[in-house]
DNA sequence: TTAGGTGCAAAGAGTTTGCTCGTAT
DNA sequence: ATACGAGCAAACTCTTTGCACCTAA
């Protein structure tokens, strides 16, 4: 079956090579925010015949096409996630690096107002929280 | 006269070399968010006898000592500003790269609440707005 | 058929580091 | 006197790119 990302690629008129299909599948299956090296690792499991240069070229292309979004959570490497309509923000666990997503529609409006007050039209934003898990004796979550 | 940053260095017990004094002065005088290359450029104007490796080592040291804060506004290079008590956020002009600072105490509380709801203790945060100047026929501001 | 994709290795950009010499304390 | 800093160049990490070959459409 075609992966979700692959369908988006076809819609955008991209030539679908075997490598792109594999990368598209890896991205479609990802529920975290992998960096290029991690994508490369997962891709080569499905098909040994992929070079990391192709992964770099592909994520860049997909970002230009609006299919992927590049994130920077510190640590010097870009991380990627499929674009979604409702944008969300990220809370990064400072001990494990795992990422939790959250939304905050109310804030969006407030931020827009702040930008306007400063004489700017808000183009985009970046809100990231860094936190430490509060022990609760609960179940361990999965994540990045 | 000693610069503000130099006094902080001495307080922290750092050995003050000529190079560090120059870099401290440049940092004290900076009203923007320079990257290492820009710091190096400004420092060499005051004293040709400084290598970029020393600038890298110094900003790192000062960051560890809590005197400087490292920022990442995208573009792949770290940018620095002296630490201050009340933290503020940044609005980056997407056309010019200039940075405007703003505060938002109300937000801080809300963010803390969000982290708690997700089961985390808030350690730090990053809020950046990217915007485009709205023309107003006013005076042109200075900045980064 | 051919515009465009791929692999490989080399090149870039930003940053760190080993080594030797220099200097603040 | 000596522990620590500085300069230089090499090394490192992440990412991009030139080139010859390959392949989807």
Where exactly are the structural domains of chain A?
A: 4-82, 89-131
A4-82 has CATH 1.10.10.10 classification? yes
In angstroms, the separation between the Cα of residue B9 and the nearest Cα of chain A is: 27
Which one-letter DSSP state was computed for residue A35?
B
Residues of chain A contacting B, Cβ within 8 Å: 72, 74, 91, 93-94, 100, 102, 104, 107, 110-111, 114-116, 118-134, 136, 138
* C-alpha separations of B93 from A114, B30, B105, B128 in Å: 14, 19, 22, 11
Q: Which residues of B touch A127 (CB under 8 A)?
A: 111, 125-128
* Second CATH level (architecture) for the domain A89-131: 2-Layer Sandwich (3.30)
* Residue A94 · residue A131 · CB < 8 Å: yes
One digit per residue, pLDDT tens: chain A, 144 residues? 799 999 999 999 999 999 999 999 999 999 999 999 999 999 999 999 899 999 999 999 999 999 999 998 888 899 999 998 777 899 998 888 889 999 887 788 888 999 999 999 998 888 999 999 998 765 555 567
pLDDT, tens digit (0-9, with 9 covering 90-100), for B85-134: 778 899 998 888 889 999 887 788 888 999 999 999 998 888 999 999 99
Rounded distance between C-alpha atoms, residue B61 and residue B54, angstroms: 10
Nearest to A77 by CA among A43, A34, A120, A118: A34
């Amino acid at each position: 079956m075609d992966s979700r990302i692959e369908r988006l690629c076809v819609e955008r008129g991209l030539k679908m090579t075997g490598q792109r299909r594999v990368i598209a599948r890896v991205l479609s299956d990802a529920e975290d925010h992998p960096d290029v090296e991690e994508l490369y690792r997962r891709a080569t499991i499905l098909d040994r015949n992929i070079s990391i240069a192709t992964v770099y070229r592909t994520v860049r292309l997909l970002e230009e096409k609006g299919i992927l979004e590049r994130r920077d959570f510190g640590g010097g490497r870009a991380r990627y996630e499929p674009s979604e309509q409702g944008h969300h923000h990220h809370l990064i666990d400072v001990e494990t690096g795992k990422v939790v997503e959250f939304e905050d529609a109310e804030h969006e409006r407030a931020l827009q107002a702040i930008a306007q007050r400063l004489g700017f039209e808000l183009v985009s934003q970046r809100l990231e929280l860094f936190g430490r898990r509060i022990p609760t004796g609960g179940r361990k979550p999965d994540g990045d």
